[in-house]
Amino acid sequence: MASKKFNQVYIKDNFSVIGPLEGDGLLKTYDLVMDNYYYGEKTFEQAEIKMQKIVLANLLNKNKLSENKVDVLIGGDLINQTSISSYNASKFNIPYLGVYSACATYTEELILASSLIHGKLAKNIVAITSSHNLNAERQFRYPVEYGAVKKHTTTFTTTAALSTLITNEQTNIKIESATIGKAIDMGISDTNNMGAIMAPAAADTLNTHLMDLKRSINYYDLVITGDLGKIGKELFLEVLNKNYNINLKKYMDAGCEIYTNAQETYAGASGPVALPLVLFDKVLSSKKYKKILIIATGSLQSTQLANQKLGIPGIAHAVSLEVI
Amino acid sequence: MNKDEYQKLVKKHEPKENKFENIIYAFFIGGLVGFIAEGLVVLLMNAFLLSRTEAGAWTCLIIIFASSLFTALGFFDNWMSKSKAGLLIPTTGFAHSVTSSALDYKKEGLITGLGSNFFKLAGSVILYGILSAFILVIVKVIIGG
């Protein structure tokens, strides 16, 4: 079965740093804002490593945790071979797992962390994820200073890093259950329309989650998808309705909640850090919702295979949170 | 829902590009570049008493230099993306693609970074430009005798 219930797994704290554009956007609750994309470093890659270092060091300080009290560090990002997370991990004396599910990385990290804590193999785990707009541009699209004409379906990679402390001590946010998604290829090969690649995976994971745990969609006060964007969001709702007969009303897409309309970010925000940013900013701090399902979505292409015109697999992992 | 049905659904949701507006932008901005270049040619011919061919070569260099400089100063990418194909098709687009690649990869070293990625975007233009020129010359020789 793809779904699993957890006992005694809680989210204790988080720490975030966001980019300059994100600071001017819709987000209200965050810890630090970068004043520029270099963040005092020589290159954008090194800036992203520094972002990860800062969110990890600050999270440990804030919770008075020494490095040897953290059982595992789980890190993920978008850059080749998850190099940003690995370079950051080398600066700390903590056992490290690097994971990749593109923009679905955050929930993959939560599922791994919860499984380890549920199985009593760990007590404290830190999950980190980050993305940097200009690093993603360099790797997946064009040189930073190249002014390519973009399609309306393109999403805009968020610049931010966020660390989360997952623990077995009781707090007010419980990780209740999770569903591991299937990689789904619906024949979409357009890397400028990642919402369309990910929407069927998100719908499938949501349906599997509800079936496995025998829940109706009304069980949740809110469902948040990761970064489907303005177009992917519509596709997701339509696929849910047509294929699974699910009529989702209490719904939010994190990709649509980060930038204002004036910020020219095409179809909205993307990147693995988009979902946790919105989760901690809009959802958990508002205290309006008790039962929340987060579905992070990822488009699993590589720069080589994208040019070979195959359908790109989408992935979505769901985690159910309860505010106590 | 099978793959074909889904792809139809995706097509339905994709916002349509306003081709007419894009053409208008490209026509006027591309035309403006041509207008400025022609102005420069006339200016150079009169100020430095150059022939039209010489003035044309100098104008070409000035346009390439200006777009590379504007790229390095960091605002030419905004002009490029807003002008649709208007600045992409003239020499400005070619210069911009080379300079932006050079800027992007200089941090990876002069050989492994800048050198090997200098023509990353412009390489295709050079290769197929030379190839088509070669074929056209053969055609011209055959037809023209």
Statement to judge: residues A211 and A254 lie in one domain: yes
Q: Which residues of B touch A239 (CB under 8 A)?
A: 1, 6, 9
pLDDT of residue A1: 73
Statement to judge: residues A178 and A307 lie in one domain: yes
> Do the chains contact at B99 and A145, CB–CB below 8 Å?
yes
Residue type for A41, please?
E
3-state helix, strand, coil in chain A (%, to 5): 35, 25, 40
Strands A10-18 and A32-33: parallel
Share of chain A above pLDDT 90, in %: 94
User: Is B9 among the domain residues?
Assistant: no
pLDDT of residue A43: 95
- pTM, whole model, 2 decimals? 0.94
What is the number of CB-based contacts under 8 A between chain A and chain B? Answer: 86
Statement to judge: residues A83 and A101 lie in one domain: yes
Rounded CA-CA distance B92/B113 in Å is 23
Domain's final residue, options A167, A187, A205? A167
Q: Which residues of B touch A151 (CB under 8 A)?
A: 17
Statement to judge: residues A238 and A93 lie in one domain: no
Closest CB to B79: pick one of A147, A242, A311.
Answer: A147
pLDDT of residue B145: 65
pLDDT of residue A264: 87
Query: Domain total for chain A?
Result: 2
Mean of all residue pLDDT scores within chain A:
95
Statement to judge: residues A155 and A247 lie in one domain: no
Statement to judge: residues A177 and A126 lie in one domain: no
Domain extent for A36 = 3-167
Kindly report the number of other CB atoms within 10 A of residue A118's CB atom: 18
Statement to judge: residues A81 and A136 lie in one domain: yes
Residue A235 sits in a domain whose CATH number is 3.40.47.40
Domain's final residue, options A130, A152, A167? A167
User: Is B11 among the domain residues?
Assistant: no
Q: Could you tell me which residues of chain B have a Cβ less than 8 Å from any Cβ in chain A?
A: 1, 3-4, 6-7, 9-10, 13-15, 17, 71-72, 74, 76-81, 84-85, 87-88, 96-97, 99-101, 103-105, 107, 120-121
Residue with tokens 């520094």: A50
Rounded CA-CA distance A240/A49 in Å is 38
User: Is B135 among the domain residues?
Assistant: yes
Statement to judge: residues A159 and A13 lie in one domain: yes
Query: Domain total for chain B?
Result: 1
Q: Is A151 on the interface with B (CB under 8 A)?
A: yes
Phi, psi of A83 (to 5 degrees): -65, -35
User: Is B4 among the domain residues?
Assistant: no
Q: Is A35 on the interface with B (CB under 8 A)?
A: no
Find the residue in A nearest to B72 (Cα): A145
Q: Among B6, B98, B100, which would you mutate to test the A interface (most chain A Cβ atoms within 10 Å of its Cβ)?
A: B6
Rounded CA-CA distance A274/B11 in Å is 26
pLDDT of residue A201: 97
ipTM for this model: 0.89
Residue A36 CB contacts under 8 Å (≥ 6 apart), including other chains: A20
pLDDT tens sequence across A60-91: 999 999 999 999 999 999 999 999 999 999 99
> Cα dist. B15→A154, A257, A265 in Å?
11, 20, 15
Statement to judge: residues A151 and A285 lie in one domain: no
User: Is B58 among the domain residues?
Assistant: yes
Statement to judge: residues A161 and A239 lie in one domain: no
> Cα dist. B91→B64, B114, B117 in Å?
6, 21, 19
DSSP state of A40: T
User: Is B29 among the domain residues?
Assistant: yes
pLDDT of residue A277: 96
Statement to judge: residues A262 and A200 lie in one domain: yes
pLDDT tens sequence across B26-85: 999 999 999 999 999 999 999 999 999 999 999 999 999 999 999 999 999 999 988 888
Rounded CA-CA distance A217/A223 in Å is 9
Which segments of chain A have a pLDDT < 70?
none
Kindly report the number of other CB atoms within 10 A of residue A172's CB atom: 12
Domain's final residue, options A144, A167, A190? A167
Residue B4 CB contacts under 8 Å (≥ 6 apart), including other chains: A187
Closest CB to A242: pick one of B1, B13, B107.
Answer: B1
Statement to judge: residues A154 and A250 lie in one domain: no
Domain extent for B22 = 18-144
pLDDT tens sequence across B77-122: 999 988 888 898 888 999 999 999 999 999 999 999 999 999 999 9
Residue type for B33, please?
V
